Homo-oligomer: A and B are copies of this chain.
Amino acid sequence: MTDPSSPCDAAHELISSARVEGTPVYDRAGEKLGTLHSVMIHKVSGQVAYALLTFGGFLGVPSRVHPIPWEKLRYDTHRHGYTVDLSRDMLENAPTLSLDAADRPSERGYEEALFGYYGSSMFW
């Protein structure tokens, strides 16, 4: 049950997979880094494994996306978006995916390198 005094509006605790696209992502200082392109969901547990961040791109059309382990994202109910405690430099140097590949499951080795880069553990 939700604490009625919680600032988090219960009616907005969920988001449709059809609307994930475009959710803003901010750095710790509140500067917008980009938006979510999509999320990768573990089929068995239903847990999001990682999110794909896009910075925008040429004429607003991104060519590559930046996968980020889900545990690095904190939902900010006031900004209606996610905050990551990562610098733009760290993101820009992180493993990326081409947009073509972003909606397909990745190689295990790629995901291990990705989670290793961020010091995160793979739960699957």
Can you name 29 A-B residue pairings with CB atoms under 8 Å? A11-B106, A11-B107, A11-B108, A13-B42, A14-B40, A14-B41, A14-B105, A15-B40, A16-B39, A16-B41, A16-B103, A16-B104, A16-B105, A17-B20, A17-B21, A17-B38, A17-B40, A17-B41, A18-B103, A20-B41, A39-B41, A39-B46, A41-B41, A41-B48, A43-B75, A46-B47, A46-B48, A46-B70, A47-B48
Would you call A94 an interface residue if the criterion is a C-beta within 8 Å of the partner chain's C-beta atoms? no
> B16, B19, B102, B108: which contacts A16 (Cβ < 8 A)?
B102
A9-44 CB contacts (< 8 Å) to partner B: 10-21, 38-44
Would you call A91 an interface residue if the criterion is a C-beta within 8 Å of the partner chain's C-beta atoms? no
Decide: B44 and A105 in contact? CB cutoff 8 A.
no
Would you call A124 an interface residue if the criterion is a C-beta within 8 Å of the partner chain's C-beta atoms? yes
- Could you tell me how many residues of chain A have their Cβ less than 8 Å away from some Cβ of chain B? 37
> B2, B21, B39, B40: which contacts A108 (Cβ < 8 A)?
B2
> B13, B39, B70: which contacts A124 (Cβ < 8 A)?
B13
Q: B residues within 8 A CB of A17?
A: 17, 20-21, 38-41
